[in-house]
Structure 1
Amino acid sequence: MIIQEHFSLKQHNSFHFDIYADYFSAPQNEEEIIEVLSDIKFKDLPLFVLGAGSNVLFKSDFKGLIIKPDIQSIRLIDENEQSIWVEIGAGVDWDHFVQWSVEKGYFGIENLSLIPGNVGACPVQNIGAYGVEVMDVITQVNGIYLDTLEPFSFKNKECKFSYRNSIFKNGLKGKTIITSVQFLLHKQGILKTDYRGINEELEKLGETNLANVRKAIVHIRESKLPDPQTTGNAGSFFKNPVVDKDTAAKILAAFPEAPYYVVDNQHTKIPAAWMIDQSGWKGKAMGNVAVHDKQALVLINKTGKANGNEILTLAAEIQQSVKSKFGIEIEKEVNVI
């Protein structure tokens, strides 16, 4: 098992911060993961499990061990006339899995196209977009407890999914390493195209079908979001706040043009991007960092020379502006290390 020392993380975090980990390992199966974690050399060192580095912000060099699971398996578990169950390794690129699913004609995750990251990270954050959350299709999450090195398998309900949240982000944060995720996909499905912009793109493509929904969403995301390969960013930096109906009513009374999405009878989602834009931050720069000029949820390493603390300073300024204008505290979506 190869363990590298003083390892550069510049290509392993989507902000492209020039930082280093004392130790780095990319095990390719569960046995190699256990081998690394069993090494007494790392017993008392800080440990961080890294996916694609697309939803993480490092404030400085990491003085410990980083494990990046590189399990690349795609395995059929079961199927019937209507559905298929698959198990996907934690190291598989998320959008590669979405593309594979669409090419096979399986419905369920097409609206999650082009979300950066690896499969192993998707349950942690309960990734979502265009009216779909990954919790809608996950049946089981498999992994290893870091303290005992014993395996676990959590069914969907045991994962305690909620909006951009799960047990892996709360009660089990820093206590597990996910090795694979099982999904239920469908051979026939109802396409969700009611989110803004999708139907307009589908009209250009001429037909509403599974492949074209993916194409439409890829085009929308590419037109709004900077490519992390060229402009360092972590996608959506803030969560969209879900507020109670009274708070939503006050905001809509003061700002009748405000976009909103009804979550249930008691809660409404107000887009953070709109509030950030209304607070005057869209396209604004602060030294090496900036708010993207096409999507206010995205903070960017504008010059390529920024560090994590500069991004956090910008984020704090934005949070204060939004709170002053709307009375709402927007939360960071990224994982700060």
Structure 2
Amino acid sequence: MHIQANYSLLKHNTFRVNIRSQYYVEINKQSDILTLRTDVKLASLPWRIVGDSSNLLYTHNFPGVTLRCTFNKIRIVKEDDENVWLSVGGGVKWHDLVEYTVNKKWWGLENLALIPGTVGAAPVQNIGAYGAEARDVITRVQTLNVYDGSHREFRNAECNFGYRTSIFKQEYINRLMVYRITLRLRKFSHGQANLSYDPLKVALQDHKKEEITPRMVFDQIVSIRQQRIPDPAVQGNAGSFFKNPVVDDNYFHTLQNDYPDIPHHKMLDGSYKIPAAWLIETCGWKGHRHGSAGVSQKHALVLVNLGGATGSELAELAQLVQEDVNHKFGIYLEPEVIIL
């Protein structure tokens, strides 16, 4: 374990914002936390848990201790004729894990390809895309308490998974570090492709279901994401900045009277989910620039660092977008990204 002072987090956030943490520590074993807590100065400061900060927007330097999990082991803990249970360290890159499972011809993660960040962040955010979510395959989440180093395991039902949220993002934020998760995946001959996302279904429509492999789905998802979302290495971003809002039946039909072509998805409870990207684009924000920050020309839901943007510039742009959408549609866009 190595404690670094006045540490730049530039390479540890996908917005590519250059801010600093007073101290930075990589945790790769349980005893590291207990060792840190014996230091009176470090123990007195606020602590923040991060992965690759692919869902965080830093707006100022952090006067505390930034902790990053680097557990990176992948192992099979159980398997039968139909399933495999995989234990994965929180420090593993999420996309690397997805590609590993695809190479094994296991079903479950292929729709979540190319999502930035680490495995440890996946249950915190309950990452999701293209008809799949992390909670669909997570069976257990192993955590370490950053106050006393104690271990606690959560079963899926105890994680309170919701739309881009979980118990780790709410009650236990910056208290429990996810250092390992267990996934239940389906073996090739006992699973099938999740084609609930229409563009994916269209892309693979010439194939019979039994001909489709996890690799084929993976390749299509990678292609779709590369077309729609800028590469964070080229234009810093966190993917979708806002959640897709949900409105009740009455308000949806009021909106539909004014905007007959409004895209929507009816939920099981009768409410309607509206694409935030459509709301933003209809307000004229797609491709708009605010200082060194901007709304992506590829996808209106993505805010980008056009080069040298500060976190404050990006946060100001987000607020301007929120205000405009709220004024035009009477809908508040809730950020998916955590602004710090």
Question: What TM-score comes out, normalization by structure 2 length?
Answer: 0.95
Which of residues 228, 242, 248 in structure 2 aligns to 1:238? 242
Letter in 1 for 2:266: V
Equivalent residue number for residue 181 of structure 1: 181
In the other structure, the counterpart of 2:278 is 274
Check conservation: 1:89, 1:179, Cα contact below 8 A: yes
Q: Does the alignment pair 1:332 with 2:335?
A: yes
Corresponding residue for residue 214 of structure 2? 210
2:209 is equivalent to residue 198 of structure 1:
no
Q: Is the 8 A contact 1:102 1:210 kept in 2?
A: yes
In structure 1, what is the equivalent of residue 264 of structure 2? Answer: 260
When structure 1 is superposed on structure 2, of 207-216 and 76-85 the one drifting more is 207-216
Structure 2 partner of 1:318 = 321
Preserved CA contact (<8 Å) 1:82 1:186: yes
Aligned length: 336
Deviations 1:161-215 (A, max 9, x none): 1111111111112221111111111112231223132134335899632211110
Alpha-carbon separation, structure 1, partners of 2:93 and 2:34: 22
Q: How does 1:54-69 map to 2 (within 5 A)?
A: 54-69=54-69
Secondary structure of 2:85's match?
A: strand
Q: Cα offset for 1:41?
A: 2.6
Match of 1:94 in 2: 94
Q: Is the 8 A contact 2:135 2:161 kept in 1?
A: yes
1:298 paired residue among 299, 302, 306: 302
Question: Which segment is superposed worse, 291-300 or 166-175?
Answer: 166-175
Structure 1, unmatched stretches of 5+, are none
In 2, Cα distance between the equivalents of 1:327 and 1:230?
A: 34
- Structure 1 position 141 matched with structure 2 position 141: yes
SS at match of 1:280: coil
Whole-Å Cα distance in 2 between the matches of residues 282 and 205 of structure 1? 35
Distance 2:204 2:297 in 1: 25
Structure 2: which amino acid aligns with 1:216?
A: Q
Deviations 1:64-89 (A, max 9, x none): 11111111010111111111111110
Separation in 2, partners of 1:162, 1:104: 29
Matched, 1:118 2:118: yes
- AA aligned to 1:131 is G
Segment drifting more, 263-272 vs 219-228 = 263-272
- Which amino acid in the other structure matches residue 285 of structure 1? R
Structure 1 residues 38 and 75, CA, compared in 2 at 3 Å: closer, same or farther?
farther
* Cα distance in 1 for residues equivalent to 2:37 and 2:305: 33
Q: Which residue of 2 aligns with 1:165?
A: 165
Question: Which residue does the alignment assign to 2:150?
Answer: 150
Farther-moved stretch of structure 1 (186-195 vs 212-221): 186-195
Name the amino acid aligned to 1:228.
P
Aligned residue identity for 1:135: R
Worse-superposed segment, 146-155 or 88-97: 146-155
2:323 counterpart SS class: helix
Rounded Cα–Cα distance in structure 1 between residues aligned with 2:295 and 2:113 = 23
User: Contact conserved, 1:7 with 1:22, CA < 8 A, in 2?
Assistant: yes
Code of the residue aligned with 2:326 in structure 1: it is K
Counterpart check, 1:307 vs 2:313: no
Q: Secondary structure at the match of 1:183?
A: strand
- Following superposition, the deviation at residue 254 of structure 1 comes to 2.1
| Pair 122,110 (structure 1): closer, same or farther in 2 beyond 3 Å | same
The gaps in structure 2 that reach 5 residues or longer are: none
Structure 1 residue 42: Cα displacement: 0.9
- The change in CA–CA distance for 1:263 and 1:91 in structure 2 (over 3 A counts) is same
Q: Which of 75-84 and 237-246 deviates more?
A: 237-246
The 8 Å contact of residues 30 and 179 in structure 1, kept in 2 or not, is answered as no
CA contact (8 A) 1:261 1:270 kept: yes
Kindly, what percent of the aligned residue pairs are identical? 39
TM-score between the two structures when normalised by the length of structure 1: 0.96
1:68 aligns to what SS in structure 2?
strand
